[in-house]
Amino acid sequence: MAKKGTLLIVDDNRNILSAVKLLADKYFANVVTLSSPNSLVSTMISEKPDVLLLDMNFHAGINSGNEGLFWLREVKGKFPHVKVVLFTAYADVNLAVNAMKEGAFDFVVKPWNNEKLIETLLAAFNNSKDKNKKTAPQQVRTEIPMFWGSSPEMANIRTIVERVAATDANILITGENGTGKEVLAREIHRLSTRNASEMVSLDMGAIPENLFESELFGHKKGAFTDAHSDRTGKMVAADGSTLFMDEIGNLPLHLQAKMLVALQSRSVIPIGSNIQQSVDIRLITATNRNLFAMVESGGFRQDLLYRINTIHINLPPLRNRIMDIVPLAGMFIEHYCRKYNKELLKLSQQAAGKLVTHPFEGNIRELQNVMEKAVIMCDGCEIDVEHLQLYVSQAIVSDGQTQTLEEVERKAISEAIISCGGNLTLVAQRLGITRQTLYNKIKRYGI
């Protein structure tokens, strides 16, 4: 029997990992093992398994299976084509039924029967391949899912999100352009109790100033020239759901006062009307501007900032998430290969190295654009450096000469040392390298 496909095994018992790998190596072309689910998503992106054998419990003394169900949902949400077989030491029929409802292919109880285990894993693999042949091309998701990665900053943000998502606390998301503020807002909404209704988005940076009030609060027919019919404002449209206001810093001062009143009273008055409409919204705002500095200069109301800033989340730039660049690139490759009906492409080591050293001033949005072009331009099975078409702006040009990758790296390390207050352990974590590698680079660059 020819070996085919990739199997990923996740179990906190290393003896079980070794035993199952030894058994499965005879049937699968590639068997990958993980002793913790913390890096599961990034491993899924890099290894692209056909079948996942997932343990249900990862902490001693906890046998509820909730951890397994959580990771099952994560995998099925991000990689719906992967067949998941759940592994547990406790034969719980109710848990098995729940797992099947969540999308698991099958359920294996420990201690396992070797023949039964292999039969189940191969059935999952064959089912995956059969469905790929029989079904029409899947509709490609237009929205890129949230990718948390493994950086300490994102781990901290994830903890905050998991604590506040189920509340109605107003959230202010800040960060540079392209860091994924709207994607994070959608993830918060997905995890909230309001997720039965679609999140309503309003990009303040794309609306002419004279239309801000109408877009927010709505208007009645005849309220002004060209008001030929009633219009429902975004705040009313978001009633019972989440309103996401991007580029909140663009809101003019006179409308900031009206916005504050609306948030305090939980009601709006459309233009041309005297009747208040009650609204029940959860507000998430975002900006790449420094609202605190705008308050100091008089460009933004302090009381409104307090109102929208119950929870403040600042997304780090991609240059501070170096360890996440390649896994993110892999996620985009998979997305655009599906979109353009291409066989799944791989990323060469040389291309990966080029991505890691690129400054990415446009952050995740720039990386996404680069990978879409790379998928389109690649005619083979592997994306290489020439497919990336990376653009370096004048921001990193010195004395008319483009900086070398070494100069860019030296600058990144120097800035990280300053921002981390000289804590080299934190610097190494932020840059995604070991302390020894950091010491070597500090010595090499004379920092």
Name the domain boundary from 279, 314, 349.
314
**161 and 219 share a domain?**
yes
The answer to whether position 78 is within a domain reads yes
Averaged pLDDT for residues 10-19: 91
Containing structural domain, residue 161: 152-314
Q: What is the pLDDT of residues 191-228, one digit of tens each?
A: 999 998 999 999 887 787 778 888 889 888 887 777 77
Pick the most confident of 82-91, 145-154, 348-357, 418-427: 348-357
17-48 CB burial, b ≥16 within 10 A, e <16: beebeebbeebbebbbbbbebeebbbbbbbeb
Q: What is the pLDDT of residues 53-66, one digit of tens each?
A: 998 876 544 445 56
**182 and 90 share a domain?**
no
Look at the chain and report how many structural domains it folds into: 3
pLDDT-derived band at 104, boundaries 50, 70, 90: confident
**295 and 156 share a domain?**
yes
Please, are residues 277 and 234 in contact by the beta-carbon 8 Å criterion? no
Distance in angstroms (rounded) separating the CA atoms of residues 82 and 66: 20
Helix pair 424-431, 405-419: axis angle to 10 deg: 130
The answer to whether position 362 is within a domain reads yes
pLDDT of residue 133: 46
β-sheet bridge partners, residue 201: 244
Averaged pLDDT for residues 148-176: 93
Has residue 134 got a pLDDT over 70? no
**303 and 435 share a domain?**
no
Please, are residues 297 and 257 in contact by the beta-carbon 8 Å criterion? no
Averaged pLDDT for residues 400-418: 69
pLDDT of residue 215: 87
The answer to whether position 1 is within a domain reads no
Averaged pLDDT for residues 154-173: 94
pLDDT of residue 392: 63
The answer to whether position 192 is within a domain reads yes
Q: What is the pLDDT of residues 322-374, one digit of tens each?
A: 989 999 999 999 999 988 888 999 999 999 999 998 999 899 999 999 999 99
pLDDT-derived band at 82, boundaries 50, 70, 90: very high
SS3 sequence of the chain: CCCCCEEEEECCCHHHHHHHHHHHCCCCCEEEEECCHHHHHHHHHHHCCCEEEEECCCCCCCCCCHHHHHHHHHHHHHCCCCEEEEEECCCCHHHHHHHHHCCCCEEEECCCCHHHHHHHHHHHHHHHHHHHHHCCCCCCCCCCCCCCCCCHHHHHHHHHHHHHCCCCCCEEEECCCCCCHHHHHHHHHHHCCCCCCCCEEEEHHHCCHHHHHHHHHEECCCCCCCCCCCEECHHHHCCCCEEEEECHHHCCHHHHHHHHHHHHHCEECCECCCCCEECCCEEEEEECCCHHHHHHHCCCCHHHHHHHCCEEEECCCHHHCHHHHHHHHHHHHHHHHHHCCCCCCEECHHHHHHHHHCCCCCHHHHHHHHHHHHHHHCCCCEECHHHHCCCCCHHHEECCEECCHHHHHHHHHHHHHHHCCCCHHHHHHHHCCCHHHHHHHHHHHCC
pLDDT of residue 395: 46
pLDDT of residue 422: 73
**194 and 111 share a domain?**
no
Q: Cα–chain-centroid distance for residue 358?
A: 20
The answer to whether position 432 is within a domain reads yes
Enter the pTM of the model.
Answer: 0.59
| CATH code at position 280 | 3.40.50.300
pLDDT of residue 64: 54
Averaged pLDDT for residues 7-35: 92
pLDDT of residue 108: 82
Please return the burial class of 258, using the count of CB atoms within 10 Å of its CB with bins 0-12, 13-18 and 19+: middle
Q: What is the pLDDT of residues 276-289, one digit of tens each?
A: 899 999 999 999 99
pLDDT of residue 428: 75
Percent of the chain at pLDDT exceeding 70 = 87
Name the domain boundary from 249, 279, 314.
314
**116 and 255 share a domain?**
no
pLDDT of residue 96: 60
pLDDT of residue 135: 41
| CATH code at position 423 | 1.10.8.60
Percent of the chain at pLDDT exceeding 90 = 46
Q: What is the pLDDT of residues 221-271, one digit of tens each?
A: 887 777 778 888 899 999 999 999 999 998 989 889 999 999 999 999 999
The answer to whether position 21 is within a domain reads yes
**333 and 424 share a domain?**
yes
The answer to whether position 139 is within a domain reads no
The answer to whether position 419 is within a domain reads yes
Higher pLDDT: 190 or 108? It is: 190
**263 and 331 share a domain?**
no
**107 and 242 share a domain?**
no
**205 and 234 share a domain?**
yes
Name the domain boundary from 314, 341, 359.
314
**161 and 309 share a domain?**
yes
**87 and 200 share a domain?**
no
| CATH code at position 20 | 3.40.50.2300
**Kind of pairing, strands 83-88 and 106-109?**
parallel
Radius of gyration for the alpha carbons in the chain, expressed in angstroms and rounded: 25
